[in-house]
Structure 1
Amino acid sequence: MLADTSTRPPGAPAPTSPAVRRPHDDSPDTAVLFAQLAELAPGPQRDALRDALVTAWLPMAHRIAGRFRDRGEAVEDLRQVAAIGLIKAVDHFDPSQGTAFESYAVPTITGEVKRHFRDHTWAMHVPRRIQELRNKVRLARYELLNTPGSHEPTIADLAAHTGLTEDDVTAGLEALDSFSLLSLDLDLSPSTHSSDSADTVSIADTLATADASYDVVIDRESAKEGLRRLPERDRTILYLRFFEDMTQTRIADQLGISQMHVSRIIARSCARIREEALTPHPDDPHARS
């Protein structure tokens, strides 16, 4: 919470006295107050002076926050972030360096707002370099669209305007869609359809689903070694049963054995292959710890 400007150390001049104001209303002359702040030890008097300085410079912080409006964040939230940057500037400013507070505070506050956008407003993690490319491309697109006779700029136009490569421009354009996420339930169907229409299509409906064929491929690969280790007659019976789709009776007639014997061979062979497929082989590097 910021203290009321009426709370000042005894004898301290008002930070916004009209006689010492600069051309801008948000640039009060507070050099004397900063000098006093540097001399005060921690305590209520220093806290009151610190709050008075923050309050005096708060309009400048709000002005800086206003530069970032219309970027997906509420202005009030941006003002709060800018106020945090202002507090940091007041706490770390050293008047003995001979630098004007405004020169020190502006980049500090601006950096705080930019960090807020970088760290808190992206819906997914995007590397800082890509975020910077996004900002350059967005600004270049805005400038090109606001020139006389403008048209939607191409990647080549944006690259020429920014001095970036076309690959960097493409990465920046892709990052424009990473600032916020869309719900998988978002309706993509034409607006002519009612919300309860059976023809509605959502983003989730357009995504790929798991293909059961992959499981078949994995199962076949897992069974190959076990099949190779079976006796030739057992392999033949399995081939005739599962690949030629022959009945056990026909297989028995072809091989000159009983149907019951064929049934036992199939059951025994399948059980052996299944056990070997599910048991890691000693030579399998993936089975080692």
Structure 2
Amino acid sequence: MTSFTQSTGTLVPLTATSPSAQAPSFTRSLPWIEDVAKIAPRDARALSKLFFDQLQFLEEGTHEYQYARNTLIEMNQTLVRFAASRFRNRGSGEMDDIVQVGTIGLIKAIDRFDLSRGVEFTSFAIPCIVGEIKRYFRDTTWAVHVPRRLQELRIDLARAKEELESDLGREPTVRELAAQLTLSVEEIIDGLVAANGYTADSLDPPRDTSDGLVRQRSRTYVDTVGGCDPAIELVDDFHALASLLAHLGERDRRIIQLRFGQEMTQSEIGHELGCSQMHISRLLTRILAQLRTGMLSDH
């Protein structure tokens, strides 16, 4: 069993045959760590391998299993703090929540880690922790629904903007952000627009309506909101109609386009298509009835 000095924490080497009096009776093959906070990161990595190696042979639910698992969680809190630092631009008041969520990701990583794969635990754990934090922001902090791709882009934009502002001494342009993130200008614009959905202001707080030394009657933002546009319902109708038109045959769509798009008469349409005016009239009646039925069923 490897010995550890006081500089890396108070560790008591244990063996199966000679347990230390300073350690609880349930420990057998693991060193007892009195103060995890004193362990240097380098030693924490070596100890983690030792604890993972023993954890796979311990029975879940036993005191020794819980000791090994909890010690791994405490020893690797530096990974959580490292991952959480990527989100520091969100404000110090939220950092405690980020660390707590990151710790959940760490616990999941510990429970899923397989030492036999030959992968360093650090390489496996960091993506798990960051992924858990991103899911937290995606699921709980956005005021409106925004695609996951744009939610993650908002984080990258905030970090790139902070770096460029530090280098340039001014706010970066869209093109400079695009070059920094190796994205197109259109993608950057989409990300900036989507970022507006991260928070939403209430309509109830009063506005500052002071005019010089004379303070006007307090008003809220909702006082400035206009009334409903009577034609707004047509927007839904147009969307529904567009879908129905897409399912028409090519000739039927052509007739609708000539009649209502170019405002041609039935006789003119018949001449265009080589049909009689009577035949065009019957076709229009059928097409409009089909569209009307579709509109009513959609609503």
Q: TM-score normalised by the shorter chain: which range applies?
A: 0.5 to 0.7
Name the residue aligned to 1:90.
110
CA gap of 1:185–1:136, structure 2 versus 1, over 3 A, is same
What is the deviation of 1:184?
0.8
CA gap of 1:194–1:164, structure 2 versus 1, over 3 A, is farther
Name the residue aligned to 1:254.
none
Aligned mates of 2:39, 2:297 — CA distance in 1? 76
Mapping for residues 137-156 of structure 1, pairs under 5 Å = 137-148=157-168, 150-156=169-175
Mapping for residues 241-260 of structure 1, pairs under 5 Å = none
Aligned mate of 1:207, from 216, 225, 237: 225
Mapping for residues 48-87 of structure 1, pairs under 5 Å = 48-72=67-91, 74-87=94-107
CA gap of 1:49–1:23, structure 2 versus 1, over 3 A, is closer
Aligned mates of 2:222, 2:125 — CA distance in 1? 47
Report the secondary structure of 1:78's partner residue. Answer: helix
Task: Return the letter of the residue paired with 2:58.
Answer: L
What is the deviation of 1:145?
1.3
Query: Is it true that 1:158 corresponds to 2:177 in the alignment?
Result: yes
Task: Return the letter of the residue paired with 2:145.
Answer: H
Name the residue aligned to 1:174.
193
For the 8 Å contact 1:131–1:175, the answer to whether it is kept is yes
Aligned mates of 1:63, 1:92 — CA distance in 2? 20
Aligned mates of 1:213, 1:104 — CA distance in 2? 55
Aligned mates of 1:213, 1:101 — CA distance in 2? 60
Report the secondary structure of 1:208's partner residue. Answer: coil
For the 8 Å contact 1:93–1:101, the answer to whether it is kept is yes
For the 8 Å contact 1:54–1:86, the answer to whether it is kept is yes
CA gap of 1:139–1:189, structure 2 versus 1, over 3 A, is same
Aligned mates of 1:27, 1:194 — CA distance in 2? 65
Aligned mate of 2:56, from 17, 34, 38: 38
For the 8 Å contact 2:83–2:130, the answer to whether it is kept is yes
TM-score by length of 2: 0.60
For the 8 Å contact 1:158–1:169, the answer to whether it is kept is yes
Unaligned runs of 5+ in 1: 216-280
Aligned mate of 2:120, from 100, 103, 128: 100
Task: Return the letter of the residue paired with 1:175.
Answer: A
Report the secondary structure of 2:203's partner residue. Answer: coil
For the 8 Å contact 1:122–1:180, the answer to whether it is kept is yes
Report the secondary structure of 1:99's partner residue. Answer: coil
What is the deviation of 1:106?
1.9
Aligned mates of 2:122, 2:150 — CA distance in 1? 31
Name the residue aligned to 2:272.
none
Aligned mates of 1:25, 1:186 — CA distance in 2? 54
For the 8 Å contact 1:123–1:181, the answer to whether it is kept is yes
Between structure 1 and structure 2, the one with the greater Rg is: 1
**Larger RCO (alpha carbons 8 Å, 6+ apart):** 1
For the 8 Å contact 1:121–1:179, the answer to whether it is kept is yes
Mapping for residues 177-256 of structure 1, pairs under 5 Å = 177-190=196-209, 197-198=216-217, 200-211=218-229
Query: Is it true that 1:121 corresponds to 2:141 in the alignment?
Result: yes
Count, aligned residues: 216
Task: Return the letter of the residue paired with 1:143.
Answer: E
Describe the superposition over 1:57-113 as per-residue Cα deviations: whole angstroms up to 9, x where unpaired: 224323432432241562221121111111111111111122222222222212211
What is the deviation of 1:187?
3.7
For the 8 Å contact 2:84–2:98, the answer to whether it is kept is yes
Describe the superposition over 1:15-68 as per-residue Cα deviations: whole angstroms up to 9, x where unpaired: 5899x9655576462212211110122231322321222222224323432432
Provide the identity percentage: 34
